[in-house]
Amino acid sequence: MIERLDAVELEEIRDDFPILQQRVHGKPLIYFDNAATSQKPRQVIETLNDYYRRYNANVHRGIHALAERATREYELARHTIAKFINAPAPETVVFTRGTTEAINLVAYSWARANLKQGDEILITWMEHHSNIVPWYQVAAATGAVIKRIDLNADGTLAIPAINPRTKLVAVTQCSNVLGTINPVKELAAAAHKVGALILVDGAQSVPHLAVDVQALDADFFVFSGHKMLGPTASGVLYGKRALLEGMPPFMGGGEMIREVSATGFTTNDLPYKFEAGTPNIAESIGLGIAVDYLQKVGLDKIRQHEKEITAYALERLQEMIEIKIYGPLDAEKRGGLVAFTFSDIHPHDLATFFDQEGIAIRAGHHCAMPLHKHLGIGATARASFYLYNTRAEVDALVATLQKAKKFFGACPTGRALGF
Ligand SMILES: Cc1ncc(COP(=O)(O)O)c(C=O)c1O
């Protein structure tokens, strides 16, 4: 039986998000910018408040009551998150400030130590800048070469046989523009066949669908807390234990050392070897509470809800001849977001018009400039959904597009779906 959120549950969820109760420009807020960052439930907000009011202290250092409680809650969050992604042990979960920092950690530590001239790093056209630029930097430092997996006409990956020169496949599990959900398990198997590793960018997948890093056989898996109901500056690098153990530290400082002498240092155990300095304590504890919240609702229910909202949005948007939607038109094959252009109206003008109606959408290149260039466009508008969005809000999106059409005097460009 398919489990879905019923109307009562949806209302209860919405009640947990104080920000959704407000009006923007005199209109009820409709928040469709979840791929940029999600809103936070009161449980997470209260956790941050509680930390600073009751037990603000540094972790792993003090022996007083506050420090012990802060350490306990911080490590409990690590346990919760490890179980959530089915990591084999909490030590394989390193707290970072987000996806970008986690990818940079692997790029500075593993890649610079292991790649050499002529080795290949395989990425895709649909990567976010944070899964492109660190590899450009690695290529410049080591002489490695960047290669890209091409796109099919429907915005899915045209997966090639992987070249034996490939040492790393770095791929997003879900595109933040096309919405495409990529077959990372198959890519991991193909990478491992030629002795390459795979790094999976889970920034747009972990918030929305159940992820099991062991079932995927991911070598590295990264994601951001702020896109999954957690605080900003929270995030995770998961890595296979043997890999993390073999890697040099990314940053030096307190916590990552076992001993420091007059001339050198030895490194701490996992995961602390990669958590130099005072970490993001409140944020990581808050992320643990966000994970509790997602698990209480149920990731399968969340995915089903978003699939239904996305399918409805795709259906309603396609009623308009002026729309061009990017990525697969089948909600099964995509996450809960839709990027589009609408007639000859610039996406920034559209986003400004939507804002006046209290609707937050995103416009621009969404930190995926190479993808937009590849598609021959400068920018798209993007509506991205989460567990608290409703069909009525999708109706408002469509009604606002129709209003924009009249306002801008847009001319029909003919139906042109997909690429
Ligand atoms: C697919 C993808 N990867 C990476 C990132 C970067 O995440 P952060 O800015 O939280 O580090 C984003 C953010 O939008 C994203 O959508």
Q: What are phi and psi of 15, to 5 degrees?
A: -65, -25
Closest Cα to atom 16 of ligand 1 = 176
pLDDT mean for each 10 residues of the chain (419 residues): 91 98 97 98 98 97 92 98 98 98 98 98 98 98 98 94 97 98 98 98 98 98 98 98 98 96 97 97 98 98 98 97 96 97 96 98 97 96 98 98 92 50
- The residues that are catalytic are 367
Question: Angle at Cα 166 formed by Cα 161 and Cα 171, nearest 5°?
Answer: 80
* 354-389 residue pLDDT tens: 999 999 999 999 999 999 999 999 999 999 999 999
Q: Tell me, in angstroms, the distance from the centre of ligand 1 to residue 124's CA.
A: 15
Closest by Cα among 358, 351, 353, 354 to 28 = 358
Q: Which of 99, 175, 182 to mutate to test the pocket of ligand 1 (most atoms within 8 A of CB)?
A: 99
The ligand 1 atom at the shortest distance from the C-alpha of residue 127 is 1
Q: Which of 224, 229, 283 to mutate to test the pocket of ligand 1 (most atoms within 8 A of CB)?
A: 224
What's the chain's average pLDDT? Answer: 96
- The CB-side HSE value for 268 (13 A sphere, CA atoms) comes to 18
Domain ranges of the chain: 7-40+298-408, 44-296
Closest Cα to atom 7 of ligand 1 = 99
Query: What is the C-alpha separation between 204 and 105, in angstroms, rounded?
Result: 19
pLDDT for res 264: 97
pLDDT for res 412: 61
Q: Are strands 120-124 and 145-151 parallel, antiparallel or unpaired?
A: parallel
CATH level 2 (architecture), domain 44-296: 3-Layer(aba) Sandwich (3.40)
pLDDT for res 331: 97
Amino acid at 407: F
Q: Tell me, in angstroms, the distance from the centre of ligand 1 to residue 99's CA.
A: 6
SS3 23: strand
At 293, list the tokens: 């919240």
The ligand 1 atom at the shortest distance from the C-alpha of residue 99 is 11
Q: For 298-415, where are the alpha helices, taking DSSP H only?
A: 299-317, 347-356, 369-375, 391-408
**7-40+298-408 sits in which CATH class?**
alpha beta
pLDDT for res 62: 80
pLDDT for res 411: 66
pLDDT for res 281: 98
pLDDT for res 160: 87
Closest Cα to atom 9 of ligand 1 = 100
Which residues line ligand 1 at a C-beta cut-off of 6 Å? 35, 98-100, 128, 130-131, 172, 176, 201, 203-204, 224, 367
